[in-house]
Structure 1
Amino acid sequence: MKVLGNSSVKVTPIAFGAWAIGGWMWGGAEEASAIAAIRASYDNGITTIDTAPVYGFGKSEELVGRAMQGIARDKYQILTKYGLNWKSDRGEFFFDTKFDDGSPVKIYKLSSRESVIQECEDSLRRLKTDYIDLLQIHWPDATTPIAETMDAVKELIKQGKVRAAGVCNYTATQVEEALKTLDIVSNQVPYSMINRDIEKEVLPQAIEKKMSIIPYSPLQRGLLTGKIKPDHQFNDGDTRDGNKFYTKENIIRANRLLERIKPVADAHNATLSQLVINWTTRQPAMDCVLVGARNEQQVKENVKALSFTLGDDELAMINEAVSAFELAAV
């Protein structure tokens, strides 16, 4: 177990990322599979779960709550979020999307004091618990002063409904502002071997402030599994199509990187995905790496990422390959 920042919250080196299970639930079979995946994660020693209200518009949190019924609450850790509003047009417009039934819905960033407190109550109900281990703002909200938002979370901590506070997708400047009001213990941000922007400011700040980084998309949305080829055809609506990481040239470059480090994976009888996840857990301040799964088999594959230890020479070789990688300009 690792400790988030200077809090008392202990987490596993990788967490069950519950975004996918909330986004595409089309009936009983998928729900049963999602619940089985969460339980398999717990049974295999991954006791930390990261979710959010917006994942399936409450569905992900509800599934987590159902999956963990009957397990002593102090045996697992719930990380959830607040700050995305789909119930009204209040806040900063973020994006258009659709409900499961295909009807349109607009998402707004909203983290006013009133909404933070209400969202926490809603999350507690869906999660079937009386406290949240780490409550995180999902995205910065330009319509609400950061001090107001953090003061609301401070109140929830005083009430015993939240153990520790974190942020997501915050810049170093926004973190500095938040720290004036509240002791922030973590920043959840995108990070992978080929997406290392946080190394400029966000990561050094976390190290200096003794905060944890909770990296998401460590596999760069599937690109670092080695299964995506330059001629890959994306399904309609797949947002990776046209994404800068998924241009033909960058898929070629990513696969070239994977070819360089594959001998290390082979030496440990591991997949490329497992090697990438393992490497990510070894990076400074990255105390809880988010890895998604939709079924038991994916969970078991993810858990194997922690079954081997990289030697110093192997880490040096991987780091050299990672440092040599450059994204092609789009």
Structure 2
Amino acid sequence: MEFRKLGETDLAVSAITFGAWAAGGWMWGKTEHNDAVEAIKAAYDLGVTSIDTAPIYGQGTSEEIVGEAIKGIARDKVQILTKFGMRWDLAKGDFAFKSQKNNGEPIAIYKYAGKESVIKECEDSLKRLGTDYIDLYQIHWPESTTPITETFEAVERLIEQGKIRYTGVCNYTAAQMAEAEKVVKLASNQIPFSMVNRDVEKETVPYCIEHNKSVLAYSPLERGLLTGKMKPGYQFQEGDHRAQNKFFTDESITKTNAFLAKIKPLADEKGATLAQLVLRWTIERPGITIALAGARNAEQSVQNAKAITIKLTTEEIAFINKELEQAGL
């Protein structure tokens, strides 16, 4: 595995990090608890020591699964990245959307990062994770009802108390990052980035490069689209958010698969899957520090971890970029 420092901190994380959203089941058509635990353990055995989770993923389920998976591993051998600022148990802040728990119970999701909420969420996460500190604590989404300075004053207190080591943001613009930095030093910004979703390269990634902030790319496989396994007419399980996602229309799948067919010979030449080639390309992209790769079972997580063994030359990266441009993705 390759390890990369987060921003200007001394925290090194695995270039392929385990993304535990799908492990929590929520919005993915459920998942099997034991399979999710084994997925994290299998990834760890191959050097994936960093795990990214959040309370909202399964309303605590994902964090509990992570806590179970790392039990018995020396705490300083894993890096836990979790989040705050999305509440399903409090109607305060910005209403986000209606959803349901894995058991079908309806819930309303709010983005809220008031000081007292940040403190409470951290305590709850520590309990679910079975640890006394979090390596990277990230605000999940911006919200308009709380001043950014208030939110990060609470985070700064948690750092002083030793409950978190470093802080970062998710889905923040460059301007919002600058506002947060008036209070506390940020390590990173976790943002959506994939071959077919590169909007963040216009402003946010350049800002992070200039200010020495790490970029944690989430959904680098675009929720499975870039594995090449999706076919037009694919039927998602009930509760799977991808059914309504613009990237999963028949037209989008067809267009993406035509591009993937162009780069598949390169993957074949390297004895790699398309997903592994895409993950390697992602972490070679300027400004991208790590790729978050989700898995619901050990087989998937092992395949993701092995992406690190793929090596790409400058010419091969240029070839992929050219095909991407020509495909109009």
Q: TM-score, normalised by structure 2?
A: 0.95
Q: Alignment partner of 2:108: what SS?
A: strand
Q: Alignment partner of 1:240: what SS?
A: helix
Instruction: Give the aligned partner of residue 112 of structure 2.
Output: 110
Name the CA distance, whole Å, in 2 between partners of 1:36 and 1:303. 14
- Alignment equivalent of 2:177, drawn from 171, 175, 178: 175
- Alignment equivalent of 2:249, drawn from 247, 266, 276: 247
1:64-79 equivalences in 2 (<5 Å): 64-79=66-81
Is the contact between residue 26 and residue 57 of structure 2 (CA under 8 Å) also seen in structure 1? no
* Count of equivalent residues: 324
Instruction: Give the aligned partner of residue 34 of structure 2.
Output: 32
Is the contact between residue 21 and residue 294 of structure 1 (CA under 8 Å) also seen in structure 2? yes
Cα-to-partner distance string for 1:195-230 (whole Å, 9 max, x where unaligned): 000010011001001101101111111111111123
Instruction: Give the aligned partner of residue 260 of structure 2.
Output: 258
Name the CA distance, whole Å, in 2 between partners of 1:62 and 1:257. 38
Q: Alignment partner of 2:278: what SS?
A: helix
Instruction: Give the aligned partner of residue 211 of structure 2.
Output: 209
Cα-to-partner distance string for 1:115-155 (whole Å, 9 max, x where unaligned): 00111111111111111000000011111000101111111
Name the CA distance, whole Å, in 1 between partners of 2:70 and 2:62. 12
Name the CA distance, whole Å, in 1 between partners of 2:203 and 2:325. 17
Unaligned 5+ runs, structure 1 = none
Aligned-residue RMSD, C-alpha: 1.5
The structural deviation recorded for 1:84 is 0.6
1:54-203 equivalences in 2 (<5 Å): 54-203=56-205
Does the alignment pair 1:7 with 2:19?
no
Is the contact between residue 92 and residue 109 of structure 1 (CA under 8 Å) also seen in structure 2? yes
The structural deviation recorded for 1:100 is 2.2
Is the contact between residue 194 and residue 325 of structure 1 (CA under 8 Å) also seen in structure 2? no
Does the alignment pair 1:324 with 2:326?
yes
Name the CA distance, whole Å, in 2 between partners of 1:176 and 1:137. 14
Q: Alignment partner of 1:279: what SS?
A: helix
The structural deviation recorded for 1:173 is 1.6
Name the CA distance, whole Å, in 2 between partners of 1:250 and 1:294. 24
Identity in percent? 54
The structural deviation recorded for 1:40 is 1.1
The structural deviation recorded for 1:235 is 4.0
Instruction: Give the aligned partner of residue 269 of structure 1.
Output: 271
Name the CA distance, whole Å, in 1 between partners of 2:134 and 2:173. 24
Instruction: Give the aligned partner of residue 46 of structure 1.
Output: 48
| Letter matched to residue 206 of structure 1 | C
The structural deviation recorded for 1:236 is 4.2
Cα-to-partner distance string for 1:251-300 (whole Å, 9 max, x where unaligned): 22211211111111011011101100110011122212100011111111
Name the CA distance, whole Å, in 2 between partners of 1:180 and 1:97. 35
Q: Alignment partner of 1:136: what SS?
A: strand
Name the CA distance, whole Å, in 2 between partners of 1:197 and 1:232. 26
The structural deviation recorded for 1:234 is 3.6
| Letter matched to residue 7 of structure 1 | T
| Letter matched to residue 211 of structure 1 | K
Is the contact between residue 38 and residue 67 of structure 1 (CA under 8 Å) also seen in structure 2? yes
Q: Alignment partner of 2:255: what SS?
A: helix
Q: Alignment partner of 1:94: what SS?
A: strand
Name the CA distance, whole Å, in 1 between partners of 2:136 and 2:212. 16
- Alignment equivalent of 1:295, drawn from 277, 294, 297: 297
Name the CA distance, whole Å, in 2 between partners of 1:200 and 1:305. 27
Name the CA distance, whole Å, in 1 between partners of 2:238 and 2:288. 34
The structural deviation recorded for 1:192 is 0.4
Q: Alignment partner of 1:37: what SS?
A: helix
Name the CA distance, whole Å, in 1 between partners of 2:302 and 2:216. 21
Is the contact between residue 140 and residue 170 of structure 2 (CA under 8 Å) also seen in structure 1? yes
